[in-house]
Structure 1
Amino acid sequence: MSNKDRYAVFGSPIKHSKSPRIHQLFAEQTQQSLEYTAEEVPADKFKESVDRFFSQGGKGLNCTLPLKELAWAYADHNTERANLSKAVNTLALQDDGSILGDNTDGCGLVADLNDNHDIFLKNSRILILGAGGATRGIIAPILEKSPQQLVIANRTSEKARDLAEGFRDWGKIIGCGFAEIQGHQFDLIINATSASLYDELPPLAENLLAEGGVCYDLAYGGKPTSFVRWGVSHKAQKSLDGLGMLVEQAAEAFFLWRGVRPKTKPVIERLNFARGFV
């Protein structure tokens, strides 16, 4: 067995995960000695798999779909942002043997927008499509940047309104159905639905994107997603997918585990080059 510190990502499905490659590049860049693997773990095997991983000397885990809510419940204690989202994507073994849960998705998104694309959220009109767990994880970090307004739109309007209500103390936020955003325009539209995974789109009005506006899809793939293509066809200033967010949230997890913050731009560039994006 390797003497290197062990980390992994658990999820289902997981075979196409880029996380092992990302953390390998982080480790090489920062001269950290570790190994990071991907393991297929369905929800009904989550607890026993995590117990085994840490009992065998594992130091930290990333958890992706469908395990983030289970990871939140598993952790001995969670960060504030993890408790707000009720989801955890990073588990870290502490010196006292306890397990800390964190959610680095939202700060990863904001870092990608701000640092990599010069997109700043203060006083902007922001629309998030979808009211599931992905949206819950990014609301607080967005509201911390003081947008003019944050709107959550969902097929089931009640779910969007309930989600917005939970964050009303953080800033100006409302929830509604897709039909209620007709006639409004937004400076930034974030797709947090699963539609892109099926090369589909949520229902979108033609004039939804303000002039000079930006589209951002939390999903990513080997080619532009359906929502990224929609943004391009509607003359978005930038139409981006979530690869940069993936790298940025991984960097935050790496920092939590190792106390060293890797540079993300070289890693994003290498991954984009590998998938033919320049």
Structure 2
Amino acid sequence: MTQPIPDQYRVFGNPIKQSRSPDIHHIFASKSQQIINYQKQLVDIDGFANAVADLIDQGGKGANVTAPFKEQALALADELTERASLAGAVNTLTFKEGKILGDNTDGEGLVQDLIINKVLLKQRRILLLGAGGAARGVLLPLLAQGPSAIVIANRTVSKAKDLCQHFNDERLSACSFAETTGQEFDLIINATSASLAGDLPPIPTSIINSKVVCYDMAYGKNETQFLQWAREQGAVDVIDGLGMLVGQAAVSFAIWRGVTPQVQPVIKKLRAALK
């Protein structure tokens, strides 16, 4: 009996060596009896459009996109979902009937991870640290969960204000990091790149207490600087971004394969590998 030919998928990035996406998608596939071949591909800074065209020529079904190509993927897509359009970035491409469809699954990955961790979002006050691409990518799915307010704090307040205008939702407001003093939050999400450099966003210690859930989009072998610091200030519930990584991959997989995979076994496996 001949073996079926696996459907081809890629993750494009530069750098790409660090990507766990092939591991994640192959585990999803084996658990759901899907036959795929998913590889990571280093792409030259000016070679993204060609790499996508080559994959389509080879009969590829889709691709994930990581830095620095998410904006180029947005421009390349023939059709965009609302969340990709508002995020201003695409991390999931689907090739169908001669068209390139662009989506952004980052925000949904975050929301799903928060739900798995039993973090309540409805009627809650959320502080989002940072106003770059990571923050912009998660705002629409967060707003869809019905929070009472999302405060976007950023070093450059005008960037946070621009985000509020872009999403045009009365629950959004902007301030500097220092202006969060005296405010109360149920959830603080670090969407800055500070943790990647081993730094902290300059927020006041007074806004952290035992009831505040602290979430960092970054993850690593050990707890990130932000989560360690939050614990020292009395936070009890601290969560890193590994579940978000697996969650956004699960949404991509469901778009491509029509099957929603289980994320917990994969998170467990990756966590063990990190250690």
TM-score normalised by structure 1 residue count:
0.94
Equivalent residue number for residue 183 of structure 2: 184
In the aligned structure 2, how far is the partner of 1:125 from the partner of 1:265?
27
Contact 1:8 1:36 in 2 (8 A): yes
1:215 to 2:217 alignment: no
- Tell me, what secondary structure is at the counterpart of 1:186? coil
- Tell me, what secondary structure is at the counterpart of 1:43? coil
1:195 to 2:199 alignment: no
Number of matched residues?
A: 272
Alignment of 1:115-126 (within 5 A): 116-126=116-126
In the aligned structure 1, how far is the partner of 2:167 from the partner of 2:55?
34
In the aligned structure 2, how far is the partner of 1:43 from the partner of 1:205?
39
Equivalent residue number for residue 147 of structure 1: 147
In the aligned structure 2, how far is the partner of 1:122 from the partner of 1:64?
30
Look up the equivalent residue of 1:112 and give its one-letter code. D
Give structure 2 stretches of 5+ with no counterpart.
Answer: none
**Structure 1, residues 63-106: CA drift from partner, whole Å, max 9, x if none?**
01111111111111011111111111000011x21010000111
Equivalent residue number for residue 105 of structure 2: 104
In the aligned structure 2, how far is the partner of 1:12 from the partner of 1:220?
19
In the aligned structure 1, how far is the partner of 2:98 from the partner of 2:233?
52
In the aligned structure 1, how far is the partner of 2:218 from the partner of 2:183?
24
**Structure 1, residues 206-247: CA drift from partner, whole Å, max 9, x if none?**
111244111111111122111121222122221111100111
Equivalent residue number for residue 132 of structure 1: 132
- Tell me, what secondary structure is at the counterpart of 1:58? coil
Look up the equivalent residue of 2:98 and give its one-letter code. G
Aligned residues with identical type, % of pairs: 51
Look up the equivalent residue of 1:231 and give its one-letter code. A
Contact 1:82 1:103 in 2 (8 A): yes
Contact 1:185 1:210 in 2 (8 A): no
Equivalent residue number for residue 166 of structure 1: 166
Deviation at 1:145, TM superposition (A): 1.2
1:253 to 2:261 alignment: no
Equivalent residue number for residue 15 of structure 1: 17
In the aligned structure 2, how far is the partner of 1:210 from the partner of 1:143?
24
**Aligned CA distance change for structure 1 residues 200 and 42 (closer, same or farther; 3 Å):** farther
- Tell me, what secondary structure is at the counterpart of 1:221? coil
Equivalent residue number for residue 33 of structure 1: 35
Look up the equivalent residue of 1:227 and give its one-letter code. F
Look up the equivalent residue of 2:108 and give its one-letter code. C
Equivalent residue number for residue 265 of structure 1: 264
- Tell me, what secondary structure is at the counterpart of 1:231? helix
In the aligned structure 1, how far is the partner of 2:45 from the partner of 2:132?
17
Pick the aligned partner of 2:90 from 69, 88, 93.
88
Contact 2:209 2:233 in 1 (8 A): no
Contact 1:42 1:66 in 2 (8 A): no
- Tell me, what secondary structure is at the counterpart of 1:21? helix
Q: Which moved more, 1:140-149 or 1:231-240?
A: 231-240
- Tell me, what secondary structure is at the counterpart of 2:120? coil
Deviation at 1:42, TM superposition (A): 3.9
In the aligned structure 2, how far is the partner of 1:120 from the partner of 1:211?
15
TM-score normalised by structure 2 residue count:
0.95
Equivalent residue number for residue 238 of structure 1: 237
Look up the equivalent residue of 1:161 and give its one-letter code. K
1:77 to 2:63 alignment: no
